[in-house]
Amino acid sequence: TFDKILIANRGEIACRVMKTCRMMGIQTVAVHSDVDASAVHVKMADQAVCVGPAPTNQSYLNMDAIMEAVRSTGAQAVGGASDRHTQAACFGCSLGRACLCPGYPVMIKASAGGGGKGMRIAWNEEETRDGFRFSTQEAASSFGDSRLLIEKFIDNPRHIEIQVLADKHGNALWLNERECSIQRRNQKVVEEAPSTFLDADTRRAMGEQAVQLAQAVQYSSAGTVEFLVDSHKNFYFLEMNTRLQVEHPITELITGLDLVQQMIRVAKGYPLLHKQEDIPINGWAIESRVYAEDPYKSFGLPSIGRLSQYQEPLNLSNVRVDSGISEGSDISIYYDPMISKLVTYGATRAEALSKMEDALDNYVIRGVTHNIPLLREIITHPRFISGDISTNFLPEVYPDGFNGHQLTAGGQRELLASAAALHVSAQLRAISSLGLPPSLCVCPSPFFPCLPPSACVCPSPSLPQVEVGGESLVVSGEWDLASPLLPLKINNTPRMLQVLQGLQLLVKSVHCKAGETVGEGDLLVELE
């Protein structure tokens, strides 16, 4: 096999490829921009080469610099092309096509693009002209390639894709489908495999056509053929991505195949090890894309900053996290704000969903705004649970935008009881040596003005009993007061809480005025 592979990417996908290379005994070379010099993928690699400044078209899309890195390091292959940072036209052979307008509405999109960049819907000739101009500009700035595709727009479809794997000997397989219909701004948010919608005949027909396409262009490697599927299970070719998709882990989990390993073997010239009848669907896998985004603004506008606290839920079984960051990493304006891919697996869809709910509740991210509240609402929504989804799921379910989870009166009482029990637990530790009586009264009115004015807590060694509004709640659990996670039970029902602000602070003095210009390192506020 290869001795050294250069990974032409950054973030989680670069780390993902490096893990398999390390397992196979292959050295890796990382490329990075100057602001990514301390990134996790750079630290994981055996060698690292800076390919330019922060803007992607001057670094990760700088093909001259990347090819020079290949030559200077002696890398025998280049891998890791998974997202828009490596989709420059000169990176490989690209396909341009011209066609007659198929009738309105049409979708205008960048031929070299992904993630919704350069994509617009046009309902008439005037919108087509404007959309063509804007999409051309956006495609050129994002991907270094201004070419566009125009295709028929299908309203309210599902977005379902087929994973294919082909070698250089004419062999090709389809590795089942991925349901990718949960999207915002044409970017995937939650994916699962298999789809709840496809029957065996439709799955086979889509898989066979995907394989025929790969063979027709003599494709060799892992690739993804994407389709739009209407309510009658008619499917329409969308595009083929000749790379490793962000959502590939869910295919790996239900088939047991390591796609990166397969790609490396194919690139070296080995034939495929498997036949089509060897490809199973074992269980169910779900992926949530965790982004540094504010989900309350257009379902997710980027949030930049430093991860002051970061804890992945790897303590749970059947949970996989693909990430390229760690505590202290910066979320930059220059790159995609993805933090990680959170993947759960179960024997059934219900089991995979339950594990995803637990994993999201156990994920700790501080320092940036993130989309975990939105992800949790999606996977617990009745429409999603029933499989009643389309690419319009988010605007249909949240026509006025996402406003977060709305607590019921019962949920408010549980939250208040938990906070009161936690407060009492902390106070008891502090006063236990003073011989004071073990009972306290917590006044919640500043936080819950709609509730009764107090919560009475009668603590015992392990089961504080809290009375809120005449209802008695027993709060149990052995929590670490220094941990941001609080696993507990309320009336024997498991709950997971997170402490967002662990200390009450007092503003001692303020050293600046509103509107005043301040510099880095200036003293602004003193807290105690």
Residue 333 sits in the same domain as residue 289: yes
327 is catalytic: no
- Consecutive H or E run containing 424: helix 409-431
Tell me which long-range contacts 298-301 makes (C-beta under 8 A, separation of at least 24).
298/184, 298/185, 298/401, 299/184, 299/185, 299/374, 299/394, 299/398, 299/401, 299/402, 300/184, 300/185, 300/189, 300/371, 300/374
Residue 183 sits in the same domain as residue 306: yes
State how many domains the chain has.
4
Q: State the DSSP string of 344-357.
A: EEESSHHHHHHHHH
Residue 475 sits in the same domain as residue 421: yes
DSSP secondary-structure letter at 360? Answer: H
490 and 417 Cβ atoms separated by less than 8 Å: yes
In Å, how far from its chain's centre is CA 319? 14
Rounded CA-CA distance 100/150 in Å is 9
Q: Which residues 6+ apart lie within 8 Å of 235 measured at CB?
A: 160, 202, 205, 206, 227, 228, 229
* Residue 188 falls inside a structural domain: yes
Residue 350 confidence class, pLDDT cut points 50, 70, 90: very high
Residue 44 sits in the same domain as residue 124: no
Residue 281 sits in the same domain as residue 186: yes
The pLDDT, as a whole number, for residue 33 is: 95
**Does residue 446 have a cis peptide bond before it, meaning omega lies within 30 degrees of 0?**
no
Residue 181 sits in the same domain as residue 290: yes
Average pLDDT, the chain: 86
* Residue 97 falls inside a structural domain: no
- Which residue among 347, 366, 397 closes a domain? 397
The pLDDT, as a whole number, for residue 82 is: 45
Res. 100: pLDDT tops 50: no
Answer with the residue of higher pLDDT: 45 or 492: 45
* Residue 138 falls inside a structural domain: yes
* Residue 216 falls inside a structural domain: yes
The predicted model scores a pTM of 0.77
- Tokens read off for 265: 């073997």
- Collapse the DSSP code of 120 into the 3-class scheme (helix H, G, I; strand E, B; otherwise coil) and give the result: strand
Res. 450: pLDDT tops 60: no
Residue 407 confidence class, pLDDT cut points 50, 70, 90: confident
The region of weakest confidence among 29-38, 49-58, 145-154, 423-432 is 423-432
- Collapse the DSSP code of 386 into the 3-class scheme (helix H, G, I; strand E, B; otherwise coil) and give the result: helix
The pLDDT, as a whole number, for residue 86 is: 38
Domain that holds residue 447: 409-498
C-alpha distances in angstroms, 241 versus 50, 91, 95, 276, 303?
27, 14, 11, 21, 28
Instruction: Compute the average pLDDT of residues 180-184.
Output: 96
What share of the chain in percent tops pLDDT 90? Answer: 56
Rounded CA-CA distance 222/213 in Å is 13
Rounded CA-CA distance 141/377 in Å is 34
Q: State the DSSP string of 184-238.
A: ETTEEEEEEES-SS--HHHHHHHHHHHHHHHHHTT--EEEEEEEEE-TTS-EEEE
Residue 256 sits in the same domain as residue 306: yes
The CATH number given to whatever domain includes residue 39 is 3.40.50.20
Catalytic residue among 177, 191, 239, 467: 239
The pLDDT, as a whole number, for residue 115 is: 64
Rounded CA-CA distance 250/161 in Å is 12
* Residue 390 falls inside a structural domain: yes
Instruction: Compute the average pLDDT of residues 319-332.
Output: 95
Res. 153: pLDDT tops 60: yes
Residue 468 sits in the same domain as residue 352: no
* Residue 218 falls inside a structural domain: yes
Residue 363 sits in the same domain as residue 433: no
Instruction: Compute the average pLDDT of residues 224-236.
Output: 94
- Consecutive H or E run containing 493: strand 493-498
Residue 85 sits in the same domain as residue 213: no
The CATH number given to whatever domain includes residue 268 is 3.30.470.20
80 and 86 Cβ atoms separated by less than 8 Å: yes
* Residue 128 falls inside a structural domain: yes
The pLDDT, as a whole number, for residue 446 is: 40
pLDDT tens across 65-90, in order? 998 999 999 998 888 764 444 344 44
- Which residue among 397, 430, 447 closes a domain? 397
The pLDDT, as a whole number, for residue 131 is: 87
- Tokens read off for 47: 């060698």
- Tokens read off for 11: 């973030």
Residue 165 sits in the same domain as residue 235: yes
Res. 391: pLDDT tops 90: yes
The pLDDT, as a whole number, for residue 114 is: 67
Compute the half-sphere exposure of residue 235: CA atoms within 13 Å on the CB side of its CA.
26
Burial of 485 (0-12, 13-18, 19+ CB in 10 A): middle
* Residue 515 falls inside a structural domain: no
The region of weakest confidence among 148-157, 393-402, 449-458, 505-514 is 449-458
The pLDDT, as a whole number, for residue 385 is: 98
Residue 281 sits in the same domain as residue 165: yes
The pLDDT, as a whole number, for residue 89 is: 46
DSSP secondary-structure letter at 84? Answer: G
The pLDDT, as a whole number, for residue 112 is: 78
Residue 425 confidence class, pLDDT cut points 50, 70, 90: confident
